[in-house]
Amino acid sequence: MGDYAFPCFRLAKALKKSPQIIAEELKNKIQLDENIENMQIIGGYLNFFINKLVLAKVVLQEISDKKELYGSNKSGEGKTILVEYSSPNIAKPFHIGHLRNTVIGSALYKIYKFLGYNTIGINHLGDYGTQFGKMIEGYKRWGNEYTFDENPIDDCMDIYVRINNLCKEDENVLELCRENFKKIEENDPYCVEIWNKLKNMSLKEFQKIYDLLGVKFDSLKGEAFYSDKMDEVVDILDKKGVLKDSEGAKIVDLDDKGMGICMIKKSNGSTIYATRDLAAILYRARTYDFDKCLYVVAYEQNLHFRQIFEVAKYLDIPEKCLNGLEHVAYGMVRLSTGRMSTREGTVVKVDELLQEAIDRVEKIIEEKNPDMENRKEAAKKIGIGAVIFNNLCNTIIKDQVFDWDTALNFNGETGPYIQYIYVRTKSVLEKVENIPELKDVNFEYLQDKASIKVLFSLYDFENILMQVVQKNEPSILARYLINLSQNYSNFYNENKIIDENKEIQDARVALTKAVEIVLKKGANLLGMEMPDRM
């Protein structure tokens, strides 16, 4: 019932007074300045009413001064944040599960960077493990049946499904696959050559998707990079006396902490990804001396990360780094028919999804606006924007059932709606000769309810970004952009912007320019590009 409220209930117990009395005492002691025009007490709340003229002047002036830097600050200065995201498996399709991981991580990376953090984006590629033993075994048996030219990942996928089926039928084949992986660890020339071939083919295909999504990384060090760094981890744990033998395997017992056992080495001497993750923590702490290391990985790996963060306490790394280890868990992506499986060949591939999105948008443009300039470029921005926003608009921990119609729905609270409102602001601004200088703007003409709602939304942008990094939750920004778009749409519908009264026009054009800047910057931070026409 005010612009801001202070609830006095929280003080009642300590002061042994009723909230109403506390509110009255506070009101009597607070001296108003130009920022606050009024205070009211309602049932134990002390409500503050902002001076709307000051609000308009301060917000629009700051956006005009900072432009695309509006909302940024120096809160991250001197702090290093590592964000590990995407991390697809080599020689497997880049599917919609990886897409969600990639766009969540990329958004966090961009927002942390915008807030002044020294941000390092890491693609921890799945380029090691028994699966490569399987791929090598499949390649030995059937490699000459494939060209690996047109669709190399599809060819790899076909081999992977075939070898998995064979492993189910014959335990001996599975044992051969395990031996192949051990040979990679031992630098067997033949196995390493095939492994490198698969890796290079995959990276080339993945890069096409990253280019479409506008995703970048500062480090492409995958699991294999840590293959020669794991012995040190094993030695440290051994010297600390926490490494135990269990049926030939090496483990750390975390049963007393309710986490079961963390396997460090298998009985055949090969390592698992827990060992590699621990080696990565040790390497990153030494290399970056990070304040935070975020792992954007599905919640299915909750136990894994609890285990390795616990075991990492024995690795003699700085307390700051230990405290900064954080698992940013997100919900699984499932098909309406059930769970995806690479082994069964039931995945929705990202390159196909993105192309489908672009094609659908282009078809809509052809029907509704066939003469539109640069329609292919617009279709690309709108289609990809729709897919990105669909992955970020809800709380990330929620599971997502993938459905083509929902992912590519351009109505309602969607990415294309935000882009449409942005294009509307551009259209308004193109109708005026010059954007007015704020010293000439009469802010009295921005005191109606619709204008005030837009101003409050704009004022909140920096606070929204701070909330995103406090909770590692990009959906907070996505929902904000919908809210800002809806508020501007109401303002647009209720106010004539291009007006015969120049003072009225200048004020409303200035507000429109501010919305254009914030919508574009907010969408860019999520990974969306804005079209000039729709």
Does residue 344 surpass a pLDDT of 80? no
Same domain as 173, residue 217: yes
Could you tell me the residue range of the domain that residue 157 belongs to? 80-227+272-335
The answer to whether position 259 is within a domain reads: no
Q: How far is residue 446 from each of residues 55, 62, 432, 456, 458, measured CA to CA in Å? A: 10, 16, 18, 12, 13
Mean pLDDT, the chain, as a whole number?
A: 92
The Cβ of residue 10 has, within 10 Å, a number of other Cβ atoms equal to 10
Same domain as 213, residue 119: yes
The answer to whether position 232 is within a domain reads: no
C-alpha–C-alpha distance, residues 236 and 248, integer Å: 19
Same domain as 140, residue 58: no
Does residue 399 surpass a pLDDT of 90? no
- Range in 99-103, 147-151, 202-206 with the lowest mean pLDDT: 147-151
Does residue 7 surpass a pLDDT of 90? yes
Does residue 271 surpass a pLDDT of 90? no
> Residue 341 has what pLDDT?
54
437 DSSP 8-state letter = P
Same domain as 364, residue 312: no
The better pLDDT of the pair 357, 492 is held by 492
- Tokens 């919640």 locate to 299
Same domain as 299, residue 442: no
Q: What is the pTM of this model?
A: 0.91
The answer to whether position 253 is within a domain reads: no
> Residue 371 has what pLDDT?
85
The answer to whether 418 and 485 are in contact (CB under 8 A) is yes
The answer to whether 45 and 68 are in contact (CB under 8 A) is no
Segment 389-418 mean pLDDT: 82
The answer to whether 289 and 274 are in contact (CB under 8 A) is no
Q: The domain that contains 478 carries what CATH number?
A: 1.10.730.10
Same domain as 48, residue 16: yes
Same domain as 512, residue 407: yes
Same domain as 281, residue 154: yes
The answer to whether 422 and 520 are in contact (CB under 8 A) is yes
Reported as a pLDDT band with limits 50, 70 and 90, residue 338 is low
Domain count, the chain: 3
Question: pLDDT digits over 425-482, tens only?
Answer: 999 999 998 899 999 999 999 999 999 999 999 999 999 999 999 999 999 999 999 9
Q: The domain that contains 194 carries what CATH number?
A: 3.40.50.620
The answer to whether position 249 is within a domain reads: no
Q: What percent of the chain has pLDDT over 90?
A: 71
The better pLDDT of the pair 92, 291 is held by 291
> Residue 407 has what pLDDT?
66
The answer to whether position 238 is within a domain reads: no
C-alpha–C-alpha distance, residues 191 and 217, integer Å: 28
Segment 253-265 mean pLDDT: 93
Structure tokens at 408: 């590519």
Q: The domain that contains 16 carries what CATH number?
A: 3.30.1360.70
- Tokens 């051969």 locate to 176
Same domain as 283, residue 432: no
Structure tokens at 315: 């690795």
> Residue 346 has what pLDDT?
56
Does residue 199 surpass a pLDDT of 90? no
Reported as a pLDDT band with limits 50, 70 and 90, residue 227 is confident
Instruction: Report the interhelical angle of 189-213 vs 375-392 (nearest 10°).
Output: 110
Burial letters 223-260, b for 16+ CB under 10 A, else e: bbbbbeebeebbebbeeeebbeeeeebbbbebeeeebe
DSSP string, 395-410: -TTS-EEE-HHHHT--
Same domain as 429, residue 298: no
Least Cα distance to 502 among 437, 455, 454 occurs for 437
Does residue 275 surpass a pLDDT of 90? yes
> Residue 412 has what pLDDT?
79
Does residue 335 surpass a pLDDT of 80? no
Question: pLDDT digits over 141-187, tens only?
Answer: 998 898 888 888 888 888 988 999 999 999 899 999 988 888 888 88
The answer to whether position 74 is within a domain reads: no
Reported as a pLDDT band with limits 50, 70 and 90, residue 410 is low
- How many angstroms from the chain centroid is the CA of residue 166? 38
Same domain as 451, residue 327: no
Does residue 30 surpass a pLDDT of 90? yes
Question: pLDDT digits over 37-88, tens only?
Answer: 999 999 899 999 999 999 999 999 999 999 999 999 999 999 999 999 999 9
> Residue 220 has what pLDDT?
92
> Residue 339 has what pLDDT?
57
Reported as a pLDDT band with limits 50, 70 and 90, residue 207 is very high
Does residue 333 surpass a pLDDT of 80? no
Contacts of 196 (CB under 8 A, 6+ apart): none
Highest mean pLDDT pick, 122-136, 346-360, 476-490: 476-490
Cα angle for residues 446, 451, 457 (degrees, 5° grid): 125
- Range in 118-127, 251-260, 351-360, 450-459 with the lowest mean pLDDT: 351-360
Contacts of 7 (CB under 8 A, 6+ apart): 19, 44, 45
The better pLDDT of the pair 526, 343 is held by 526
DSSP string, 199-255: HHHHHHHHHHHHHHHT---SB---GGGGTTTHHHHHHHHHHTT-EEEETTEEEEE-G
> Residue 468 has what pLDDT?
98
Reported as a pLDDT band with limits 50, 70 and 90, residue 408 is low
> Residue 267 has what pLDDT?
84
The answer to whether position 75 is within a domain reads: no
Same domain as 197, residue 91: yes
The answer to whether position 260 is within a domain reads: no
Residues annotated as catalytic are 92, 95, 98
Reported as a pLDDT band with limits 50, 70 and 90, residue 347 is low
